């Protein structure tokens, strides 16, 4: 009897190990890239969000807008050569946009070459009616965004239409944006124009572009504190199959080397404002990040 009990326990343990192994392996897609494992999706995504549909007093009624910079790249090559299917995280785009719209600010969308915005569809909260509505509203902007290169050449220096630039997260913010010379010009222009900069989760990786033509000591955001997705959490990605391998580089470490301090240690709901740089730590921060950004922009225009 005792032997049977031991065998049963061993069988259960082995079965649990097999189930854990199978559910924690990233899922390969048709193009050979990988989306997060079933386990990772269960742990890191949700069919709804905590968007609270805030009503803002003194809602803005003017023409100032926010310029949102998105990636047009989908696949991140990991350290082991496998490709992670990424892009922009839908919650980190859409919840802040919902708050900005509620506060009276329209949002324009740009990508480096004017190609469609890539969105992590596997992270889409399919049962969230607010998200579904704003996603539908912005569908044309996502499919036919402004060309950042054209904007820099033809519009940037002549424009007074914008109050802020916004860089949403998703690991796609680490692709193409940190070394983009047009984004370098945009970041320097917005900073010198005393505009707000909004960045959430991996979005601050794109702020590395601001250092392309400056030495370390003259980096725009040297001495700033931000909330952002920690490198240490990214390091855990392969364990649960969120990513198919380790990251190709550590963007937080690069920001640290430029004099930026990341204040959070977890991928949590931390948000932070340092001068005119507003940041958030993860998708869990998207609602609070959007509220903080909307509130600060209203204060700015009502000065």
Q: Which of 66, 201, 205, 281 is catalytic?
A: 201
201 noted as active-site residue: yes
Q: What is the DSSP string of the chain?
A: -HHHHHHHHHHHHHHHHHHHHHHTSPEE-TTS-EEPPHHHHHHH--SS-----PPPTT---SS-EEEEE-----EEE-TTS-EEE--B-HHHHHHHHHHHHHTT-EEEEEETTSPPPPB-GGG--TT-HHHHHHHHHTHHHHHSPEEHHHIIIIIGGG---EEEEEE--SGGGGSSSTT-HHHHHHHHHHHHTT-EEEEETTGGGGGGGGGTTS-GGG-TTTT-EE----HHHHHTHHHHTSSSS--SS-HHHHHHHTT-EE--SSSSS-EEEETTEEEESSGGGHHHHHHHHHHHHHHHHT-
The residues that are catalytic are 201
């Amino acid at each position: 009897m005792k032997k049977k009990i031991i065998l049963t326990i061993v069988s259960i343990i082995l079965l649990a190990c097999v189930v854990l192994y199978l559910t924690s392996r990233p899922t390969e897609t048709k193009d050979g890239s990988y989306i997060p494992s079933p386990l990772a999706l269960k742990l890191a995504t949700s069919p709804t969000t905590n968007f609270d549909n805030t009503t803002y007093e003194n809602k803005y009624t003017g023409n100032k807008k926010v310029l949102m910079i998105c990636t047009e790249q989908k696949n991140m090559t990991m350290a082991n050569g496998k490709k992670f299917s990424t892009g922009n995280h839908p919650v980190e785009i859409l919840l802040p946009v919902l708050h900005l719209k509620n506060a009276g600010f329209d949002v324009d969308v740009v990508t480096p070459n004017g190609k469609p915005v890539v969105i992590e569809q596997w992270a889409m909260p399919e049962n969230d009616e607010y998200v579904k509505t704003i996603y539908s509203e912005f569908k044309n902007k996502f499919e036919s965004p402004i060309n950042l290169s054209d904007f820099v050449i033809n519009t940037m220096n002549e424009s007074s239409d914008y109050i802020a630039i916004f860089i949403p997260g998703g690991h796609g913010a680490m692709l193409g944006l940190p070394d983009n010379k047009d984004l370098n010009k945009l970041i320097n222009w917005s900073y010198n124009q005393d505009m707000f900069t909004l960045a959430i989760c991996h979005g601050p990786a794109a702020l590395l572009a601001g250092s392309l033509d400056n030495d370390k000591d003259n980096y725009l955001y040297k001495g700033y504190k931000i909330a952002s997705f920690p490198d240490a959490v990214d390091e855990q990605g392969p364990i649960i199959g969120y990513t198919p391998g380790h990251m190709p580089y550590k963007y937080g470490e690069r920001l640290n080397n430029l004099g930026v301090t990341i204040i959070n240690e977890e991928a949590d709901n931390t948000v932070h404002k340092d001068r005119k740089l507003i940041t958030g730590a993860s998708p869990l921060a998207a609602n609070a990040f959007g509220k903080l950004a909307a509130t600060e922009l209203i204060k700015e225009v009502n000065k």
